[in-house]
Structure 1
């Protein structure tokens, strides 16, 4: 068990180092030697967990996937807002997520498959849109697949703009502005009136998601023992 935990810690250390190098240098110019130096591990330890720079990059990219759980809301539109706000908070505060976004948006990384994060982002948004449509929350013309892609694509542009102009310091404000402009063309006005998309929502959703995810993990651990 101790050896397994040590392996998990080593893998995490390598990924954090890779995230820092990828964020600073981009995929194309990042070097394995730089990641080794940053991680402070041997070449053998790195190659035990990751066989190539591509595998390292894919490990960092996967960190963007939603690892925290948001409780079910009566309004599925609110759930969509909360998914966006949670990612926004993590993007501002988690270097692994920032590096994953940098890789996803790196158009010079021609040999790297960057499609995964876009697909994993669009899927939960589309799922909530379909549930929102079933509940009568959406305007009649909405096609959920197209709308999910629009939400993900416009968010990608806004975060890229925020990174260039302020190193993500104004990201929450820009995202709330995006939602205020985008959602009226998607959501019934009677529903939209009760949706919270204020700037303080990002931090509160993150805190709630951490607590909720911890409760789920604890319950699963008890169930496994029983």
Structure 2
């Protein structure tokens, strides 16, 4: 059991170190030597968990799916809003998630898996919007697939701009403004005043 725990810690240490290197340098410029230097582990330990740099990147991409943890709200539109806000907050704090996003956005030699992070996000949001539509939370005639693509595309652009200008410090505010403008064209009139565009204090 103790050996199993050490193995989990070593694996997490490699992922966190790789995340920092990928986040700082990008995939192509990153090296396993630099990743190893930040972990203090042996090369044998690294290859025990990950046979290649690509294998590490694939494990980091999985962190994106793990971050799509849907907040449980009675109003499904609020769940969509909170999902985007919480994802933004995690991007500010979680180097592993930031590396996952960078690996997806950048054009590198890393071949992102077929089920890309964009598709993961769109599947999750589309499911919530379809539920919201059934509950009549959404205006009649709205195409939820179009809205899903708009939300994912807009979030991607917002987080890139936020990273460029403030290192993502202003990302929650950018997401909040996006929802303030989108909600009137999406939500049923009686619901608009009940929707919150910021996260509650922690």
Q: Which interval holds the TM-score relative to the shorter structure?
A: over 0.9
The CA distance in 2 between the partners of 1:71 and 1:178, in whole Å, is 19
The CA distance in 1 between the partners of 2:146 and 2:58, in whole Å, is 26
The CA distance in 1 between the partners of 2:194 and 2:52, in whole Å, is 48
Partner in structure 2 of residue 168 of structure 1: 168
Partner in structure 2 of residue 192 of structure 1: 192
**Does residue 1:61 correspond to 2:89, yes or no?**
no
Q: 1:185 offset after TM fit, Å?
A: 2.0
Which ranges of structure 2 fall in alignment gaps of 5 or more residues?
none
Partner in structure 1 of residue 112 of structure 2: 113
Q: Which whole-Å deviations, capped at 9, do the CAs of 1:120-170 have from their partners, x for residues lacking one? A: 111111111000000001112222222212111110000000000010111
The CA distance in 1 between the partners of 2:30 and 2:150, in whole Å, is 31
The CA distance in 1 between the partners of 2:47 and 2:130, in whole Å, is 43
The CA distance in 2 between the partners of 1:170 and 1:67, in whole Å, is 20
Q: Which whole-Å deviations, capped at 9, do the CAs of 1:46-94 have from their partners, x for residues lacking one? A: 1111111111111112112245755532210000011111101101111
Partner in structure 2 of residue 152 of structure 1: 152
Partner in structure 1 of residue 100 of structure 2: 100
Q: 1:110 offset after TM fit, Å?
A: 3.9
RMSD: 1.7
TM (norm. structure 1) is 0.83
User: CA, structure 1 residues 163+149, in 2 after alignment: closer, same or farther (shift >3 Å)?
Assistant: same
Which ranges of structure 1 fall in alignment gaps of 5 or more residues?
208-226
**Does residue 1:21 correspond to 2:21, yes or no?**
yes
Count how many residue pairs are aligned between Structure 1 and Structure 2: 201
SS in 2 for 1:111: coil
Partner in structure 1 of residue 139 of structure 2: 139
TM (norm. structure 2) is 0.93
Partner in structure 1 of residue 11 of structure 2: 11
User: CA, structure 1 residues 102+71, in 2 after alignment: closer, same or farther (shift >3 Å)?
Assistant: closer
